[in-house]
Structure 1
Amino acid sequence: MNEAYLPSCCTPLREHWPLPLALPDVQLFSTRFAAERLAAEDFERCGIAPVPGVAKRQAEYLAGRLCARAALRRLTGVARVPAVGEDRAPQWPAGVVGSITHGNGWAAALVAQRSAWRGLGLDIERPLPVARAERLAAEILSADELRRLQPLSAEQRAWRISLTFSLKESLFKALYPLVLRRFYFQDAELLSCTADGHARLRLLSDLAADWPAGSELQGQFAECEGQLLSLVGIRA
């Protein structure tokens, strides 16, 4: 493994916190990537097992794993690359929780000790165009969420639908390792979101004995690299 090697498809890894509320003891690294600059030898030189797929899939995977390795080194002192589980979720080292996201040329990973955080979910999404947001609204939003959209303009509706999509993706990433069952957009709702980037979500279905319907979780979001970045963190 050559940690010093930076593939030409990625910008230097950046340690920063682009969200409104810093989470204690959580490490986050990000990079920009360009699939057209991915070289055949990049995976081998980085010491990361390659994945099948087109160049875009390979570049985003490599970028995300590089961020994860850097975050793990900062957290634990040991550089590791999380493998892919049978459920396609990252396999973090014992005692560590984390999340990886990538989209539209940007990738990031964050990690923390399980003793401090039970779950972390990070997601980035490009805001949906108005027409596409309207087509997808009924799939992403509950009946109550749809009703709360009614007073908004078309552009505001599209932004809220995009945000709800991202927050529910983050919610799934944070909760899935705890409940070990798949759940979907209609199993949760966004109760509120504020101008300063804070959000509140509620489960609409029973996912586990300690995660019944009605459980509420806190999230946050921000515009990042021209996209919507969201995070759900579950304290230990």
Structure 2
Amino acid sequence: MTSTLYHPACCSPLSDHWPLPLALPGVQLISTRFDPALLDPEDFTRCGVPGMTAVSKRQTEFLAGRLCACEALRRATGAPCIPAVNEDRSPCWPAGVVGSITHGAGWAAAAVARRAQWRGIGLDVEKQIPTTRADRLVAEILTPHELEGYAALDETQRALRVTLTFSLKESLFKALYPLVNKRFYFQEAELIHHDSSGYARLRLLTDLSEDWKTGAELDGQFVQFDDYLLSLVSIAA
């Protein structure tokens, strides 16, 4: 379904600003800020986005994400459309296209590219995890190797380490899942490098397919802005 030119009051004007440190050729990243208090139930119809039954926050983030995806598709392919929803709740992208949608705490974005250039794209945004919650979740998200030195970090560094690792592994999953059609979890990949430039590298700790086995490494990148952390994992064609 193609969207109209209508832009809802619950979303800020769409932005094509690339906040990440490394621009990727052919990848279109579109973002918006959203406010559930400003959602009009008729916004879905006006925007050409299928409605959904959910609380206002969930409806607004879904609408915002789909509007970003529609514009990213228009820029990448010349054909704007609203991605449908697969049975597993992932976006259903048009043939010849890869993409990823993310949203959280009032900010949404989509990244889209042609499959001829990119095999997979994973995008994830997270609000900074508070230190007390990070300390509760750390053993679930970090592998034993990633946990080395964690206790010696100060509160700010611990919160950032968990937020960063969580987000990059979410992006990794989004990039690989459409290629392997197999779910995997936090302990089945690890962050082996990250630096102040925003570059990161991850390694698989499990076999996912013939092409993606234990030891395979992938590049990622990340940036912090306005108490958010945005990460992206990309797989070149």
TM-score normalized by structure 2?
0.98
Corresponding residue for residue 118 of structure 1: 119
Pairwise CA distance, 1:151: 3.4
Q: Does the 8 A contact of 2:3 with 2:81 survive in 1?
A: no
**1:14 is paired with a residue of what secondary structure?**
coil
TM-score normalized by structure 1?
0.98
- Distance in 1 of aligned mates of 2:226 and 2:74: 25
Question: Is 1:24 aligned to residue 25 of structure 2?
Answer: yes
Aligned-partner residue type, residue 204 of structure 2: L
Distance 1:2 1:150, change over 3 A: closer
Structure 2 unmatched runs, 5+: none
**1:99 is paired with a residue of what secondary structure?**
strand
Q: 1:193-204 maps to which residues of 2 (within 5 A)?
A: 193-204=194-205
Q: Which deviates further from its counterpart, 143-152 or 72-81?
A: 143-152
- Distance in 1 of aligned mates of 2:25 and 2:234: 11
Corresponding residue for residue 101 of structure 1: 102
**2:88 is paired with a residue of what secondary structure?**
coil
Pairwise CA distance, 1:81: 0.5
Q: Does the 8 A contact of 1:63 with 1:107 survive in 2?
A: yes
Q: 1:218-229 maps to which residues of 2 (within 5 A)?
A: 218-229=219-230
Percent of matched pairs sharing the same residue = 62
Q: Does the 8 A contact of 1:82 with 1:90 survive in 2?
A: yes
Give a deviation string over 1:16-71, Cα, whole Å, max 9, x none.
Answer: 21100000110011000000100011000001101110000000000000000000
- Distance in 1 of aligned mates of 2:79 and 2:106: 27
Q: How many residues align?
A: 236
Pairwise CA distance, 1:2: 5.1
Q: Does the 8 A contact of 1:106 with 1:225 survive in 2?
A: no
Distance 1:8 1:182, change over 3 A: same
Q: Does the 8 A contact of 2:3 with 2:80 survive in 1?
A: no
Corresponding residue for residue 54 of structure 1: 55
Structure 1 unmatched runs, 5+: none
CA RMSD in angstroms comes to: 0.9
Runs of 4+ residues over 4 Å off in structure 1 = none
Corresponding residue for residue 164 of structure 1: 165
Corresponding residue for residue 15 of structure 2: 14
Question: Is 1:231 aligned to residue 213 of structure 2?
Answer: no
- Distance in 2 of aligned mates of 1:187 and 1:47: 39
Aligned-partner residue type, residue 197 of structure 1: G
